[in-house]
Every structure is written in C-alpha cells, then in structure tokens.
Amino acid sequence: MKISVLYLGRLECRKYHLIECDDHKELIKSPIMSILIEHPILGNILYDTGNSPYYSTEYPASTLETYPVAEFISIEDALKEKGLTPADIDMIILSHLHFDHAGGLRYFTGTKAMKNVVVSEAELKNAFCQVMTGKPGAYVKGLFDLEEIRFKTIDKDTELAGGGIRLFIQNSHTPGVTGMILETKSMGNVIVTSDTIYTCDSYQKELPPGGPINKTKKEFYDNLNRIKAMEKEYSAKLLFGHDYEQVLKWKEKGVII
C-alpha cells in the first residue's frame, strides 16, 4: 500500500475558527488536503476531494466571507502530478460532506469512483437534513447531491477488504466524521483525524475551535481523549485536518510506503 498527501490549496480565515484564542482578528492558513491510497487489492482510493472549481459563485457569500479561498488547486491537477486522472480512482472516502471536502466530487462524473463513495450514515443524514431544512452551515447541497452518485454508508468502525485501512466514526465537528487508521511500513500506523482536530497545536494544547463549530466543547474533548487513547494503542503518528505546516511537510515526503 502506498500513501500520498495531496495539497489542494488553502483557506485563510480567522484563527479562532480553528483554534480557540483571544485575538479574533488573527488570521491562519488552513490547507485543503486529500489523501491518495494506492491499495494492492482495492485499487486507487481517494480520501476527500477538496474545493469546488466554482467556489466563487457556488458557495454562499457567508461561507466565502468566513472561509475565504486564498488558493485553489483542483483534485484533477493534484492527481495529474501523480500520473493519474479521476477515471483511475476506484473508490472515494469522504471524511464528511462540508464544502472543502466534497467540493471536488464533480470531477468524477462518469467514473467508477462516483458509484463507490463511502461516507458514514450519520454524516449523510446530517448533511441532507441541514440543507433540506434551510440550515446548511458548511454544507452546499449541489456539491454532493449529484444525479449519478452512489453512496456506500458505514455505521460503525470498519476495516476495508484487504487490510491496511480502518475507518472509524467520530461525533465531533459533525455527527459522523470518518477518520482513518493507515498501516504503513515506513511510518508505522497513521491516524487521520480530519476536522475533529484541526491542528497539532490544538491537539497538544487541548484547544477546541472557537465559535459554534461544535454544539458543545464536550464533543471536542470526548473525541480528543479518544484520539489520545488510539494514538497510544496503535503507537500511531497523527495527521490533522487543517494544519498548514504539517500538510506541506507530508506532501513533501512523496509516496509513503
């Protein structure tokens, strides 16, 4: 199994949206990331798809004001750097359906991956409930409510066939964020938290995001304690959802075996 972190540009937003802090004017770079997994049995798997190429017109003005897109790199271009096209992807795993994770799904129109999109059942229900009741938050209906898409839902921790990839469902940030445990030879186990923990600083200092991202801080701390226990259990390295320096560093590693 081979793993590559793909850098898909960045948002530049108020730091307190990612990490609780007193200065609500301080800005932070928030990277957009995808993970390419070349699996010996399951084929090419993509974890998240980045932003929509039409973000400037497709995203609500309130979303663009809170989370301005400072740099956009399409998932198509990122795959091209690896010698691949969207047609070469066999499966897509979505950590959750927020705009910066599901925005690149349209690049897979007409491909086999579009009929093999894995997401947690809780996340799918939450996303559709919010957009259909007029409380979309960070969901944009047109990004994931696509005619030909076929979701395969999971409702519990799941090991994918062939081994090496274990998915686990988190109840923080949204009610069904899917994280991953990846088994590698060169780095040991890697736990991918997605947006339940945005940055290394947040993890080490136990700082939740500011604002109303989580319904309660208890959700964040409950999940943080779970990740800490998993880190110890699996002797794992952690890859966070929006840590700019970490994402660039892991991208530069190239292919991780």
Q: Quote the tokens at residue 146.
A: 């696509």
Residue 23 pLDDT: 95
Residues 6+ apart with CB under 8 A from 39: 1, 45, 160, 162, 164, 165
The pTM for the full model equals 0.97
Residue 215 pLDDT: 78
For residue 52, which of 121, 129, 95, 108 has the smallest C-alpha distance? 108
SS (H, E, C) the chain: CEEEEEEEEEEEEEHHHCCCCCCCCCEEEEEEEEEEEEECCCEEEEECCCCCCCHHHHCCHHHHHHCCEEEECCHHHHHHHCCCCHHHCCEEECCCCCHHHHCCHHHHCCCHHHHCEEEEHHHHHHHHHHHHCCCCCCCCHHHHCCCCCCEEEECCCEECCCCCEEEEEEEECEEEEEEEEEEECCCEEEEEEECCCCCHHHHHHCCCCCCCCCCCHHHHHHHHHHHHHHHHHHCCEEEECCCHHHHHHHHHCCCEC
Tens digit of each residue's pLDDT (9 = 90 or more) over 75-107: 999 999 999 999 999 999 999 999 999 999 999
Within the chain, which residues score under 50 in pLDDT? Answer: none
- Say how many C-beta atoms besides its own lie within 10 A of residue 141's C-beta: 13
Q: Quote the tokens at residue 189.
A: 């186990």
Strands (E), 81-150: 91-93, 117-120
The CATH code for residues 2-252 is 3.60.15.10
**DSSP symbol at 237:** E
Residue 204 pLDDT: 97
Residue 151 pLDDT: 98
Residue 69 pLDDT: 98
Domain ranges of the chain: 2-252
